[in-house]
Amino acid sequence: MILASKSPRRKEILEDMGFNLKIEGAEIEEISDEKELTLKIMDIARKKTFSIAEKHPTEYVVGADTIVEVDGEIIGKPKNREEAFKTLKLLSGRKHNVITAYSFINISKNIDITNYNISEVFFRELDENMIKWYIETGEPMDKAGSYGIQGKGAAFVKKINGDFFSVMGFPIGDFIAKLNEVGISLEEIKNI
């Protein structure tokens, strides 16, 4: 299977489940004309996946996109340390949504699945020293919402309502359920 992403977290989640992956990052402009947030993120995830599936029509291709949403605003990856600080200050002591959409395509088998997962994440109150310490680790710089739940960012999380793996970058349980719906069993995973 081809993973249309260079995300080490997605790679880890899928390989831990038994998938044999080839990595081919999708180089697309991550924009969508969709108005509704979930439709927008599903559209972007599908575009990423389809851009790779077009090049490999007989291969299974999976791709995903994750965003953080707070007060209706999309919080992407920070451009710099100042933006990471501002984002973490915004998330401090409150709830935000993490939305991960994924797409699974095999053109030759006429498989084209796109779905999403929303999880609520509640942050503890963060003081400026905690935020500065975290930014100094470098961890927030390549992550939506400026934190990684699977790393040092876990210290900020009070609780989650939803799917930990979706917050990490890929809702593996939902994905496996969708594969079962199209007739791909857990035993077959290592072969796709």
Q: Which residues are catalytic?
A: 65
Long-range CB contacts (within 8 A, 24+) of 83-87:
83/146, 84/135, 84/140, 84/141, 84/146, 85/131, 85/132, 85/135, 87/140, 87/145, 87/146
* CA–CA distances in Å: residue 46 to residues 26, 31, 40, 63, 189: 11, 11, 10, 7, 21
